Amino acid sequence: MTVLASPSRGASLWQRWRFHLSALVLIAPIVFGPAWFHQNAFFDGKKGLGQREIGEIAVGPWSVRLAEFKLSEPDAEGRAGHAKEFALALCPACVDQVKAAYLRVGKPRNLRTAGALFSGTPYRQTAEMRVPERTTADDELWLTLEGWDGTLHQATIPIRTASPVMAAWLEKRGRS
Amino acid sequence: MMGLRRGGLIIATIGAVSLFIGAAWAHPPFCICKMANATTVSCEGGFADGTGVPGVRLDVIRYDESVVLQTKFGPDSTVSFKRPDGEFYMLFDAGPGQSFDVDYKDIQ
């Protein structure tokens, strides 16, 4: 008489639940697919410059469209403190004239301290701007554009205009 | 039954999270300066992702933009120097958009 060995607990569980697992593999893309496509479209720029467009800002002879990349509080960046991401698009006429765009909290002392450098195409570039510890909701963001001819032009944007979410976060941080 | 449901949820969560792993974020620089003793300032530099900055430039500059000292971070991403008199700031400069200025008032 042959005695059949009973399957191990793991093999038994696998036999019993493999159907459910395969169903999960099919269901997961259906459940998470729309969020994934939405996120992909957002990163591709098909959903606009950012989650909240700030508007057209004149910077000397040029202009840019500025947006909050994500409609959220500044991100914690470990020992680097907090940072907030913004997106920018150069005006079509100034695409060939602007070499670089920088953004920071407070007036830069010089070009080396102009802040976060925007990177990407002229039509949609992003920068992760540092939020210094002493920043208050009444401070201003300074946007610096550097031309290929070496000229510098600057514009200021109150934090309350640039990002009400960030202003509220700063006020909350200031109270605590 | 509950354990397997929990396992399924974990797998689904890992799957969902992995969808967003491709999003890469910048890692801003930082520079923390402290008084090592009564006369010496010690600064530590780096990037938020833990990258060190050995050999990266640190300038000590007066408010009138005259450079007091040009130095570099050591192998341990720290640098020490004698504190200048008056008003100044320290500029950790790892290239355009990768700089970090620390005012003398922010020396801890």
Q: Which three-class secondary structure state does DSSP give residue B10?
A: helix
Residue A49 has pLDDT above 70, yes or no: yes
Q: pLDDT value at position A96? A: 95
Q: Is the pLDDT of residue B4 over 70?
A: no
For residue A33, pLDDT over 70 is answered with: yes
- A101 and A128 both lie in a single domain: yes
Instruction: Give the confidence band of B52 by pLDDT, cuts at 50, 70, 90.
Output: very high
Which residue among B30, B98, B99 places its CB closest to the CB of A79? B30
> What's at A90, amino acid-wise?
L
Residues A42 and A90 in one domain: no
- Identity of the residue in A81, A112, A119 whose CB atom sits nearest the CB atom of B91: A112
- Smallest CA–CA distance from A28 into chain B, residue: B12
The more confidently predicted of residues A143 and A7 is A143
Domain-located, residue A57: yes
pTM for this prediction: 0.79
My answer on whether A37 and A70 are in the same domain is no
Segment holding B31, helix H or strand E:
strand B29-35
Distance in angstroms (rounded) separating the CA atoms of residues A166 and A139? 11
Q: How far apart are CA B17 and CA A113, in angstroms?
A: 36
Residue A20 vs residue A117, higher pLDDT = A117
Instruction: Establish if B32 belongs to a structural domain.
Output: yes
- Asked if residue A39 and residue A67 are part of one domain, the reply reads no
Q: Which of B12, B28, B91 sits opposite A113 (nearest CB)?
A: B91
Task: With respect to residue A1, please indicate whether it lies within any of the assigned structural domains.
Answer: no
| CATH number of domain containing A128 | 2.60.40
Q: Mind listing the pLDDT tens digit for each residue in A4-16? A: 667 788 888 888 8
pLDDT at B53 over 60: yes
Q: What average pLDDT is seen over chain B?
A: 83
Question: Is the Cβ pair A113, B26 closer than 8 Å?
Answer: no
Q: Is A106 among the domain residues?
A: yes
Task: List chain B residues with CB under 8 Å of A109.
Answer: 61, 65, 89, 101
Number of structural domains found in chain B: 1
Count the domains in chain A: 2
* pLDDT surpassing 60 at residue A136: yes
Tokens of B80: 């020490």
Domain membership of residue B92 as a residue range: 27-106
What pLDDT score does A125 carry?
95
Q: Quick one: pLDDT at residue A82?
A: 95
Mean pLDDT, residues B50-67 taken together: 94
pLDDT band at B84 (very low <50, low <70, confident <90, very high): very high
pLDDT digits 0-9 by tens, A53-108: 999 999 999 999 999 999 999 999 998 999 999 999 999 999 999 999 999 999 99
Domain with A150, as residue range(s), is 52-175
Where residue B96 sits, what CATH number does that domain have?
2.60.40.1930
In angstroms, what separates the C-alpha of A112 from chain B's closest C-alpha? 7
Q: Is B3 contained in some domain? A: no
pLDDT of residue B5: 56
- The residues of A whose Cβ lies within 8 A of any Cβ of B are 13, 17, 20-21, 24, 28, 31-32, 35-36, 39, 43, 75, 77-81, 83, 85, 100, 102, 109-110, 112-119, 127-128, 130, 133-134
